[in-house]
Amino acid sequence: MLESARRGVATARSEVPPFIVMDVMAAAARLEAAGIHVIHMEVGQPAAPAPAPALAAARAALDRPVAYTEALGIPSLRSRIARHYGERYGVDVDPARVIVTTGSSAGFMLAFLALFEPGERVAIACPGYPPYRHILTALGCEPVLIETTAATRWALSAEALIAAHRARPLAGVLVASPANPTGTMMPADALGRLIGAAEDAGIRFISDEIYHGLDYAFAAATAARISARPVIINSFSKYFCMTGWRVGWMVVPEPLVRPIERLQQNFAISVPTLSQVAAEAAFDGRDEMEAVKHGYEENRRILVEGLPAAGLDHFLPADGAFYLYADVSGFTSDSHDFARRMLAEAHVAATPGIDFDPVNGAKFIRFCYAGSRADAQAAVERIRRWLKGP
Ligand SMILES: Cc1ncc(COP(=O)(O)O)c(C=O)c1O
């Protein structure tokens, strides 16, 4: 038992590890307070604001009473999200299966509570987004980290999933494509094989599709096109540039709608109303969002072409999202210390891989390229000078 639990201050299950990226942000803020210009590549969020139609809709909504909405979300937003599946992927989704959530973060809590009993085991890819394992742990479930390798383009394979299930049964698996921190993506056939293997083995499938829309190597495939049984989690945070609005969605099999509605009624009553109104209008800001995406593509090119000159010439395929996961083992065996020194000496903030991968993360650094083109260029130059000299 951990210290605060022992002292009776907090429960053992609340003893989840911190999100190290937040510590990097705090150290960067201290440098900035001392007048130093820091280039931020640590936090995974767009520098751009929400699209103009979203802002206009939110402003207009302020003139009306801002009341609770239905627990499952404003019906017109649920329908608009369902329509999005037809427009983007050519798949029919019944609006009744769409649930609006407080960011995808709340979607994970609702999905894990609705799908898994305490003690059940849920597979996630390693490296992966830290809150997956921390939320599962806090809810009494057991995250099972499955290492990914270059052989499967750093994605979870059907073979690895079934091997883990044979070793000890799994209740679920959660996959993201494009992924954080790696930026890698699963081709549609690999995703299809994984979903097929999971369903044949009775393993519940959760697809985190938060980085859809930010795909450069090939078009991201939705699990909704492969089967109606997976739980799909998505968000307005990334492609739609609405992190702080805290609004996302789930698409769930019909029998899960009512259980999740009951959970949401009790936990939150409803998702913030202004954010839902803005989210619905955000779909009309497609041109703006595509322009922002093209900016990321340009930043990605600057990093992919520029980092090798700094000696960082090993990184995972940067297929999508806005991350580049670079191997720094030629320089250090401690990525946390490397990130700390890069911030202090080159004034570039990035996140140590150890946040995402307790096994091999000490060899990797994650760069987020969701900022400006000038920042991407300046970051490459600062890192080159720091590692190679003037
Ligand atoms: C892979 C992944 N999933 C989910 C989230 C949570 O996002 P939000 O709660 O803003 O929708 C993030 C945030 O960085 C993420 O990287």
Sheet with 172-176, side-by-side order of all strands: 98-101, 248-251, 231-235, 204-208, 172-176, 121-126, 142-147
Residues 12-35 have pLDDT tens digits of 888 887 777 888 899 999 999 999
Residues 55-111 have pLDDT tens digits of 999 999 999 999 999 999 999 999 999 999 999 999 999 999 999 999 999 999 999
Q: Which of 45, 135, 180, 325 to mutate to test the pocket of ligand 1 (most atoms within 8 A of CB)?
A: 180
Residue 210 Cα to ligand 1 middle (Å): 6
pLDDT score of 3 more than 90: no
Cα torsion 195, 253, 280, 240 to 10°: value is -20
pLDDT band at residue 6 under the 50/70/90 scheme: low
- pLDDT value of position 12: 85
Return the ligand 1 atom nearest residue 321 CA. 16
Residue 132 Cα to ligand 1 middle (Å): 10
| Predicted structure pTM score | 0.95
Average of pLDDT values for 317-324?
A: 95
Average of pLDDT values for 366-373?
A: 96
- Check pocket membership of 227 for ligand 1, CB cut-off 6 A: no
| Greater model confidence, 296 or 355 | 296
With a pLDDT cut of 90, the percent of the chain lying above it is: 89
In total, the chain counts a number of residues equal to 390
- Check pocket membership of 208 for ligand 1, CB cut-off 6 A: yes
Residue 238 Cα to ligand 1 middle (Å): 8
Q: How far apart are CA 360 and CA 328, in angstroms?
A: 11
Dihedral sign, Cα of residue 61, residue 62, residue 64, residue 66 = positive
pLDDT score of 2 more than 70: no
Give the count of beta carbons closer than 10 Å to the beta carbon of residue 66: 12
- Check pocket membership of 272 for ligand 1, CB cut-off 6 A: no
Beta bridge partners of residue 98, listed in sequence order? 251
- Check pocket membership of 44 for ligand 1, CB cut-off 6 A: yes
Phi, psi for residue 349 in degrees, rounded to 5: -95, 125
Q: H-helix or E-strand containing 198?
A: helix 188-200
Average of pLDDT values for 188-205?
A: 97
Q: How confident is the prediction for the chain on average, in pLDDT?
A: 95
Residue 262 Cα to ligand 1 middle (Å): 23
Q: How far apart are CA 6 and CA 302, in angstroms?
A: 50
pLDDT score of 247 more than 90: yes
Give the count of beta carbons closer than 10 Å to the beta carbon of residue 193: 17
Q: How far apart are CA 46 and CA 239, in angstroms?
A: 8
Residues 120-172 have pLDDT tens digits of 999 999 999 999 999 999 999 999 999 998 888 889 999 999 999 999 999 99
- pLDDT value of position 270: 97
Residue located nearest, by CA, to atom 1 of ligand 1: 180
Residue 321 Cα to ligand 1 middle (Å): 11
Q: How far apart are CA 374 and CA 340, in angstroms?
A: 23
- Check pocket membership of 103 for ligand 1, CB cut-off 6 A: yes
pLDDT band at residue 7 under the 50/70/90 scheme: low
